[in-house]
Structure 1
Amino acid sequence: MPTPRYEEIAADLREKIREGHLRPGQQLKTEKELAAEYGAARNTIRDAITRLKALRLLETRPGRGTFVVQPPEIFRITLTPEEDTGFSGGEGKAWVREARKQERKAATSPPVVEIQQADKLKGEALDIPEGGDLVGRHQRRYISDKDGNSIPWSMQTSYYPFEFVERGATELMRPKDIEEGAMSYLEEKLGIRQAAYKDVLRVRPPDENETKFFDLPPEGSVQIVEHRRTAYDVDGRPCRYTITVYPTDRNEFVIEAKLPLVDDGRRG
């Protein structure tokens, strides 16, 4: 079945936007001019523009015309084992510090805390039986753009064995930030020190809740990066399992690693 003409035109305009021939903020030609350029009816041009507006690539400003949308400012995510980055599952000050490094303002929703039963995935990650009790701490995170507008940036849920609460780490159950960071708190309260972690990254389409929160195009043209991190203590026992989701249109990832030095100074 042949591709509809409006889709061909939309694809061509989209490629021009991607390659920078049509820049953010630039005004599109009028429907009449585009119809002449593509040898198409104005209704066909209108359908192509409607398609690109649905993809959040174009916007119409009343009385002014149609313009290329300014994409979200990219925020850099540095994946390291350090709590101070704010991306290892840290809460409170760590998250704010990382935003300040990039001259942005950070905000988070108050944690939503609940007791859950572990499914197979979470049970395997935390080495507890399926159906065992977990503490889940869920937050929504926002980053400011250059105009100071608060942009939905990520959603994060960290899971801990409920055993930690029974042993005295009751702050995990409070719906407020743990200012020093959850792992620093667990080290102070229970002597649990994070010594290692394992990351899993996967790209997938957004679900309905993510599409709504991040205000994504309904066609799924913006994907989600799902970052799963399992933290381990000095004895190799899992102590936290964090799932964070990021839309790909406003984030980039940097993965930092330190290589050990052997005795002669060479890297192993």
Structure 2
Amino acid sequence: MTTHESAQQPASRRIAEALRSAIESGELRAGDKLPSERALAEQYGAARNTAREAVRLLAEQGLVTARHGRGVFVRESRRLFRFGSDRYSLKNRTTGLTPFRLEAKRQGKVARIEVPSIVREKPPVDVAERLIVPASEESVVHRENHYFADDEPVQIVSTYLRWDEAQGTLLMEKKSGPNGIYGRLEELGHAMTSIRDEITARMPTPHEASVLQLPPGVPVLEVLHTSLDQNETPFEVSRYVHRADLTGLKYELLVQ
């Protein structure tokens, strides 16, 4: 950015850019407390409301977070990685841990999962297409799970299963037994042999922002996952909604 362009910027943006540069250079490190609005106003020769707007811009960019009664702090750049390439591998199944619990354990985090609802319903159109069920009927069971790492919400997972298979089984229960839902689906004859992940980035819905406690301006990563069995039949579709500021996706695939 040229000096002329910088001069044309609103004062709040110039202050925000200066603070952003200090964060990116390491001058301000994760956990450091930002100067007060009064101190920032004095430092940059601006009004306090201008300094307040600069801090708001940094919060929207996910660089700082406000702690009530304590001040504003530089956010720690932490990532809980989803290991897409071996997430569902047989070697990991032998651990007895679900994919999320195993990923969290590998990264030194404590996993917690809440299951707020399990309901029969009409599937979203994109889910119906992938699961090959009618969208006009209550053809699926929808399990909504909320996932936490070290008590911080990191993802929402909406899993859709065929109603005619799930009814009357542990798939309708919050605790689905050893190896989670994939263990039960395997008992129903679905051995996972391949997966399809479709990944997009977007802004959250109000529900997602509330559940994930998202700071303003932080997007989500959506992974629409389809499991296919030994007959190449899709038997489960899950929509993973991850906090983009706390989650990364890692895929290591062989090139044929």
Shorter-chain TM-score: which interval? 0.7 to 0.9
TM-aligned CA deviation for residue 185 of structure 1: 1.5
2:145 equivalent to 1:139: yes
Within a 5 Å distance, the mapping from 1:32-181 to structure 2 comes to 34-35=40-41, 37-52=43-58, 57-59=64-66, 66-71=71-76, 73-80=78-85, 82-83=87-88, 93-110=98-115, 112-132=117-137, 133-144=139-150, 150-165=151-166, 170-181=169-180
Q: What SS is found at the alignment partner of 2:115?
A: coil
How far apart, in 2, do the equivalents of 1:212 and 1:226 lie?
16
TM-aligned CA deviation for residue 141 of structure 1: 0.6
Name the residue aligned to 2:215.
217
How far apart, in 2, do the equivalents of 1:119 and 1:32 lie?
50
How far apart, in 1, do the equivalents of 2:29 and 2:127 lie?
44
How far apart, in 2, do the equivalents of 1:225 and 1:140 lie?
15
How far apart, in 2, do the equivalents of 1:240 and 1:50 lie?
41
Q: TM-score, normalised by structure 1?
A: 0.78
Name the residue aligned to 2:10.
4
2:226 equivalent to 1:226: no
1:58–1:245: structure 2 CA closer, same or farther, 3 Å change rule? closer
TM-aligned CA deviation for residue 214 of structure 1: 1.8
How far apart, in 1, do the equivalents of 2:166 and 2:176 lie?
16
Aligned partners of 2:85 and 2:253 also within 8 Å: yes
TM-aligned CA deviation for residue 154 of structure 1: 0.7
2:13 equivalent to 1:17: no
After superposition, what is the alpha-carbon deviation per residue over 1:171-210, rounded to whole angstroms, capped at 9, x for unaligned? Answer: 111232443222222222x222111111100000111112
Unaligned runs of 5+ in 1: 145-149, 260-267
Give aligned pairs, total: 244
1:238–1:18: structure 2 CA closer, same or farther, 3 Å change rule? same
1:8–1:229: structure 2 CA closer, same or farther, 3 Å change rule? same
Unaligned runs of 5+ in 2: 1-7
How far apart, in 2, do the equivalents of 1:82 and 1:35 lie?
49
RMSD after superposition: 3.0
1:199–1:49: structure 2 CA closer, same or farther, 3 Å change rule? closer
1:237 to 210, 228, 233: 233
How far apart, in 2, do the equivalents of 1:245 and 1:186 lie?
23
Q: TM-score, normalised by structure 2?
A: 0.81
